[in-house]
Amino acid sequence: MPKVYGQTVDKETRCVHYHGMTDIIAIKFKCCGKYYPCYKCHDEAEDHERVVWTKEEFDTKAVLCGHCGYELTINEYLNTDQCVKCQAAFNPGCSLHYPFYFETSKDE
């Protein structure tokens, strides 16, 4: 499994900020190329501004399933609510945070 930075509290990438049953993904940040469990972990550990993935880059593998270690592309992740490999459920509430990680249309 790729290294996950930040304040993780277990091996499934839960962190001090988000550690519910389904908080099992980490996201690779475009700015530094590192996996963090959440944007708060990123901001506490790094001193640069976050850069979001643009739509042209949504085929990049940038979402890590903390349950099985599979790396999803952003497109795969945005179109599922579970891991496409191990079927572990992802937190549907994460969609509220998509703008912190991914480019979103302004007219949506």
Summarize as ranges the residues that interact with Zn ion (CB under 5 A): 15, 17, 29, 31-32, 37-38, 40-41, 46, 65, 67-68, 70, 83, 85-86, 88
Nearer to Zn ion, 58 or 70 (CB): 70
At closest approach, how far in Å is the CB of 32 from Zn ion?
3
Comparing CA positions, the residue from 4, 86, 11 lying closest to residue 42 is: 4
Nearer to Zn ion, 21 or 86 (CB): 86
For 96, counting Cβ atoms within 10 Å of its Cβ (0-12 exposed, 13-18 middle, 19+ buried), the class is exposed
Structural contact between residues 17 and 24, judged by C-beta atoms closer than 8 angstroms: no
**Residue 56: alpha-carbon gap to chain centroid:** 18
At closest approach, how far in Å is the CB of 107 from Zn ion?
27
Nearer to Zn ion, 82 or 108 (CB): 82
